[in-house]
């Protein structure tokens, strides 16, 4: 299933979501200007190299936990991530506000990278992409809007269908797919998708969403307790 949209109205223009999309695209356009040798060096300097990060965790290495979120390997990698961000990011930002949304994005992105490094600490292959942070946004979306409708494309042999399913159903299927692919990738030396970054980011986003919902419930209860009875 490929998500192409959702049925979940927002109140405000998603300034932070659009800003993140512009920043990701700008970095990728910059990458296109680099010759192959310089591009490879850029990936190694801006991406997370688990082996290097753990052997010498200096400030430059730790900074890659953030810079790696804005680097993408190719057009497909970039476009799929930006579509995901646009579909789910705007509503989460609308609910949280600009600054809390940006904090969520960065914190879950770092947690996602930490999960991938923990699973494959000896890897010398750079980890790049916004997928971990977007998985965190997705986890928060699931908690905040479990009954929102998500439009997905479903390939059926030679045909495709567009259907609507609940966010709960969509992310249950998505999460299971990440788990299966992640287990299958264990022990594979070649580079590929950082499945455990997706899982780590998603779980962190779910926790963040639960904290937000819990805080909102507490505030409502306090308002009720102070009100007239």
DSSP 173-204: HHHHHHHHHHHHHTT--S----HHHHHHHHHH
pLDDT, tens digit, 9 for 90 and up, residues 131-171 = 999 999 999 999 999 999 999 998 887 788 899 999 999 99
Over residues 8-34, the pLDDT tens digits come to 999 999 999 999 999 999 999 999 999
Which residue among the candidates 113, 123, 131, 135 is catalytic per the annotation?
131
SS3 content of the chain, % helix, strand, coil (to 5): 70, 10, 20
Which residues form the domain of 18?
Answer: 2-226
Residue 94 has pLDDT above 60, yes or no: yes
CATH of the domain at 144: 1.20.1540.10
Interatomic CA distance for residues 66 and 47, integer angstroms:
9
131 is catalytic: yes
Q: How many domains does the chain have?
A: 1
């Amino acid at each position: 299933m490929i998500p192409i949209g959702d049925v979940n109205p927002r109140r405000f223009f998603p300034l932070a979501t659009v800003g993140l999309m512009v920043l990701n695209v700008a970095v990728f356009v910059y990458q296109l200007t680099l010759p192959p040798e310089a591009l490879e060096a850029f990936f190694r300097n801006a991406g997370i190299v688990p082996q290097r990060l753990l052997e010498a965790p200096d400030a430059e290495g730790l900074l890659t936990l953030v810079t790696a979120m804005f680097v993408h390997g190719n057009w497909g990698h970039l476009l799929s991530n930006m579509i995901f961000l646009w579909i789910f990011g705007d509503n989460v930002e609308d609910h949280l506000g600009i600054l809390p949304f940006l904090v969520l994005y960065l914190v879950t992105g770092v947690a996602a990278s930490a999960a991938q490094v923990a699973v494959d600490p000896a890897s010398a292959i750079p980890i790049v992409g916004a997928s971990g942070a977007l998985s965190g946004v997705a986890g928060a979306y699931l908690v905040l809007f479990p009954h929102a409708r998500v439009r997905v494309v479903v390939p059926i042999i030679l045909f495709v269908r567009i259907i609507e399913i609940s966010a709960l159903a969509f992310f249950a299927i998505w999460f299971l797919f990440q788990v299966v692919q992640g287990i299958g990738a264990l022990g594979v030396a070649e580079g590929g998708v950082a499945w455990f970054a997706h899982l780590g980011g998603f779980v962190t986003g779910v926790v963040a969403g639960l904290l937000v919902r819990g805080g909102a419930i507490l505030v409502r209860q306090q308002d009720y307790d102070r009100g007239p009875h």
